Structure 1
């Protein structure tokens, strides 16, 4: 419900909001310019200021002080009214007080769209829409993060969806404040707020005299200029008129003959709040806040565009043929991080629809059995993110499943999607199946998995589903190729050739990105060391993934690749020459990188697994304690990153470097040097240290066994470290 409300309100109001927001961005510049050009403030009284202005301009009728400190006097030049910004030090005009035609035009556009009161109601409606979007966006942000306590964690995902989420997070406070203050100002203009105290009753007992010296008026002497809002002078030749003084605390009438205070009225709370809100909204008096709000408003067209793109992509992924949940007999829910699982869901939906079933397809975050009165089955296609976590479109699903009672006559089928090379293969889907069984949900068919997006695994599962449903269909899924970028190789360093175990450090240049691609969120995605690059080898549709040894800020993309016997992709990569091109895409891997802060980091790797570890060291410019344990064959043939490691140790990015060589006179493996350094490792972990491991599965298992012994002596265990995010593996 929240997602639909957020989407449709945003799409319908996007044009209005864009116009209002962009005009607001332009207007935010004027308060800053005003603050820069306003004459310096003077620590004087209103009496001194008024006397100086009257001496310079005897026909002065009014003096106003803006929240920025700018003082404006209104007077006559001959028989023509005039105004000027006043230098309070002299009381003389310093510059013109006229508003530029551009500012006046922008103000009318922003306030009323040139439609007077009708336009004001329209822009107020836009403010209400923005407030609704800000509130619903906040709830969606919390849902995406997995709960309110995670709302400030780094944003997951990629492409337009990630850009939308990142920009939303940055702009949300400013948009919330702008919309809320705009609604208050509209209510004030149309008299919808409680009435304020108003002006005091005009006095009937004036002295009838004129000509009091301004510097002798007690109230004007006691009022600092910084408290002044306005001072109106009595009309020339009218002995019954008075001085009218408005300050933050209230409004007063002062006799022009003897300077006596004739009447006073305190400012009501509504007026005080309204004055403060106008300052917040316009930035006059808070120029820095005006610029912040302007920057936030600049996000509106970006959010409108990326929101539209995400919606269009989602619509295509879910297909327009999806039946409404209230009418469907089959509910198909998808949990996907990168979007590939949606392709399998579309294939399944098409097959079931062709058999006459009414299928509703949606994200797993929309799990609401109470809304499906005609449903006879629920099918869950769940990918696993990172180390067994829920993907973005399934946030909160586990919690909903645990609190939802099993519904008789509504069996579940759970199909997991993952990669067997990862330790937590289909961990999220397996957790769902276990919880569903414990809660008493009937199983439509047994839990099953699809490895590496295998169409064969999917077809095999589909045949069992068809048999169970008594239908006749075959799931023939054609994987959708991911969008790839052409990356040219700019350099390579080769190792291991002398022992027939070629390993290469390959550095690729980043694609050139146009301004339009950046503005539309279609630029090459940002990445960090530890993220993954998917490379599609020639002769295959299935990408192979390699851990990145660099980040976007390094200005290049680097990987470390060992040639595998019979390996299609590694063979092609290790045969590349500078200038050759690969087709590749980036996939985030935020669970494998050093945690923020200054706690120690223990890097453990072997062979080509040093790639991301070298990337972590390269970006450790803060010189946090970072210890590398690295195993390889021989220093003469496999000294990967030897020069960099030596340099990084000297400049403090690496606190220590310990190496093990398996093909020397005294062979050793990385687990051996860990065992020898058990005391220091134990102290580092006790100090809150994090362990990051990259390399082969066998190496990681051997390292885990050694670390388990070391941790036992410190009262820790691997399970505890993993649960707290202090132990992560990137294995193959």
Structure 2
């Protein structure tokens, strides 16, 4: 009886998973060739492993002026991403000489096809589920096969003894099963693990760093080649290094090693934060290597032979038993009139642009699609599909266009059932990655009439178009639509272009910070306000760059620009002469417009973030209280804006101006220090329904928000989110 149970279990498991295992095994054989082919490429440099990271970076930096990152893949090939002729280029390099060896290996079409088929049967999420289950069944097939062989052979101790030959199929089935047993078990278990990871049944952990920006030091200044970590770490330990984005001390080297991640002060070389990778991360990497053979020829051959054995074992097994075909079922589900409603939660407009791609595709397919912000949620009489595409603000909170969504969702209950899907945009650089998207998903799961089309939130890190289009394709498959998003090269074309003429331009070389002001006139009278965005496409095929507008007069605007040595758009703007006309688009950014009803406003900016505030201050004809806090490097940094500031103070359109300088020889101050210093006054502004507006870097925003939270706790006895929800906190940071 026990033998029959094991035998029928083996049979049922094999029959039920046969088709998927056949596809997975055949594609597995194809994919086993890829790591072998990659490993044989001429990009491996002998004796390079003995180099230290300091020596490696010195060799690379000597050849290239602008290095963004250096990486090492599973094959030991070292690559670099550098800026050459204003464009990012990535290629393999010789870490000893810094010479370019060749382009980054691209996945050949046959491997791409095999990968997609192997992972999901082209069914995306449902297909991944089938393959994951097939991997689990393969493990159970192997276990039941071990039991059957052990019983057949007379015990586990005789497992590898001679096999009695009854017929060809039986004999070959047993013999080859024993040979490939270990690779098959490893393939199955690693496949199950990766599937569990994919469906988040195994929690994926992320390293988070806590940085005390106030205590970052610039002295003692050391050359990076003398950094202890770089000197004492061999190249063989490297995953990748990301160079500091700027010369500010708040930016650092991000170094990922085999077993840990380190943030390194770019001036002193002191570790700012060091975190070891959690076991889940290391286990996931091992599972990937064991399942794919990446970086090793020998194991790839073993995996290839193991995968090749699966169809053979299926053939011989079904020669003894029988086989069964697959079944495949596909479901198609196509406001007042809209069947598809796309809601967007966006802080700066980027998420909206991605949502517009899907919206446009639906319209092109003849579908009735409606695009709106999350705060515009209402009753949609014909809605069958709701898609929420949202960013996350601050500490896992709603972005500015989604603050009222939870209230509106509870208020407007749809009369008809509908399916929903949630896509989260964010960056893993921040601890609350896509948290608002997850909260939105939970909220919808408890909403009457709402049914999840895709159970899991799909996350898009750092605006990855590939990650977004992968979701869109999968979502389209689920609703019966052929969604194929094309990566936009001119996002600004979504808005009407307007001619702008250059009225005035300062020179960047006259400023210590390499910044300059452009005064522009919109010659066709298109409406815009301070805080709206100017979308500029510097060249054919290039993506848009966004600059925050300051409105000085009717159709007269200013933008503040920092020139980057290899920056395509900043150098394009710098070369424009007085009287030159160019085309650009105005992108509305109403969530960052100056508050009309506030009697008191606090403006907080660093560097070029002051740009939109220049226009807001100029338009303060009522002489309402405006307090401007601005952070720069030195007093020389203020020269560009000082005439405007002095004039505004004299006219009364600006009440107070408080600067902070972070590069002075005496007391170094950041703008957050000013906020802390004037906490009681800022609390009074919020208490009297005033507004705080922030424009500048994300790093500055984080520090300022921390101080505002402390101010709210100390003086107002409320959480910062209370004022954010009342739109008393407005931000446009980058």
TM-score normalised according to structure 1 size:
0.45
TM-score normalised according to structure 2 size:
0.45
